[in-house]
Every structure is written in structure tokens, then in C-alpha cells.
């Protein structure tokens, strides 16, 4: 299934491809600095491409896909499972079915409407009984009863997400290769 072109993703991956520092930081496994550089250099342009929540959601998804792939952390993205759209599943659906404690769901709601976000979380809680294994990526700080990461230029906690995912994977044993020793 071919994904339709997206100007945010196109811009992000074009920037990554042209940047010599990102390649170097990836080799050094400095994923937080990769995120910081992308946000510093791409955020303003990407925000101008459409609805802030939606474009930040696409940016977060694109960066996570790129970083998880390069960190060799197993993940699945954009999955429909039991009628629920899942943004990112770590490591995969099979693990969720076998042992939900070892599975992380990352929700990227593409909205700042608390009601919409709560609704999405409540759908996820029906398939992920371990509620602390549902993390949310937002474009602004909204008080939720979940671990959240904010992707914005002002208060960016998103840059720590790969290390937190690696830590989760190492602790739960989901990362068979232990690529990221934290």
C-alpha cells in the first residue's frame, strides 16, 4: 500500500537527507540531539504547512519512524487493531496479544482538544490493559493521566522519547539486541 505524499514528511526527510550533522549524530546514537536539531531547523517551516496539531503529529510520526528504524527498535506504525487506529506499537501487535506488559502504545492524537484525546486514550485502554504503557505525543502541554511528550519549540520533552522507549524495551526484554544500553 503506497502512502500518499505528505509535504511535512517530504520536508522532514529531505532535511534529514541533506544534513551532515544528523547522519553523524545518528552514528553516535545521540537521538535527542537529532530531534533537537530537526525541531530547531524545521519546526517553524512545518508549522506554516497547515493545522498545528496535524502537522506536529505528522512530524512526530515521521521522526519516530526514522529514529526507531535507525535505533533498531522493533515497532509497527499506523495499524488498525480491533477497529482501533494505532499510531505506533512497540514492539508489535503479537507481543500485545501475548504480553501487554511488554508492549508500548504511542498515541499521536493530532489534536489539542482534551475531549478528543481522552476518547482516543479510552479506545487504547480497551486493548492495552497496562495503562502506564500508553504514552501520548502532543503539540502543547495538556494535563493527562498519561506519560506525555511535548513536541514544540518552546517546551520540547519529545527529544527524550527514544531513550525512554529504549529503556522500556530493555527493562521489559522487548529489545532482544540491547542495541541501546541505557
Tally of domains within the chain: 1
Residue 112, in any domain of the structure: yes
Do the bridges between strand 104-107 and strand 84-90 make them parallel or antiparallel, or are there none, so unpaired?
antiparallel
Residue 158, in any domain of the structure: yes
Domain boundaries, position 134: 7-172
| Grid cell of 20 as nine digits | 551532515
% of the chain exceeding 90 in pLDDT: 80
Residue 1, in any domain of the structure: no
For the stretch 121-163, pLDDT in tens is: 999 999 999 999 999 999 999 999 999 999 999 889 999 999 9
Separation between Cα atoms, residue 112 and residue 19, nearest integer Å: 31
Q: Three-state SS for 85?
A: strand
Full-model pTM: 0.90
Region 59-76: mean pLDDT is: 92
DSSP state, residue 31? H
Residue 33, in any domain of the structure: yes
Separation between Cα atoms, residue 182 and residue 178, nearest integer Å: 9
Residue 162, in any domain of the structure: yes
Region 36-63: mean pLDDT is: 96
* pLDDT bracket for residue 182 (50, 70, 90): very low
Residue 133, in any domain of the structure: yes
Residue 93, in any domain of the structure: yes
Residue 103, in any domain of the structure: yes
Separation between Cα atoms, residue 45 and residue 7, nearest integer Å: 11
Residue 3 burial (CB count, 10 A): 7
Amino acid at each position: 500500500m503506497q502512502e500518499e505524499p505528505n509535504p511535512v514528511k517530504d520536508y522532514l526527510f529531505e532535511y534529514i537527507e541533506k544534513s551532515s550533522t544528523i547522519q553523524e549524530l545518528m552514528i553516535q546514537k545521540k537521538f535527542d540531539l537529532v530531534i533537537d536539531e530537526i525541531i530547531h531547523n524545521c519546526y517553524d517551516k512545518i508549522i506554516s504547512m497547515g493545522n498545528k496539531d496535524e502537522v506536529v503529529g505528522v512530524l512526530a510520526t515521521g521522526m519516530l519512524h526514522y529514529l526507531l528504524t535507525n535505533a533498531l527498535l522493533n515497532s509497527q506504525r499506523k495499524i488498525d487493531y480491533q477497529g482501533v487506529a494505532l499510531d505506533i506499537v512497540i514492539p508489535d501487535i503479537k507481543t500485545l496479544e501475548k504480553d501487554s506488559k511488554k508492549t508500548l502504545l504511542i498515541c499521536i492524537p493530532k489534536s489539542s482538544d482534551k475531549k478528543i484525546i481522552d476518547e482516543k486514550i479510552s479506545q487504547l485502554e480497551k486493548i492495552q490493559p497496562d495503562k502506564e504503557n500508553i504514552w501520548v505525543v502532543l503539540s502543547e502541554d495538556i494535563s493527562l493521566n498519561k506519560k506525555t511528550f511535548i513536541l514544540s519549540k518552546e517546551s520540547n520533552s519529545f527529544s527524550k522519547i527514544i531513550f525512554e522507549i529504549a529503556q522500556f524495551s530493555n527493562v521489559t526484554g522487548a529489545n532482544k539486541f540491547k542495541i541501546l544500553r541505557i
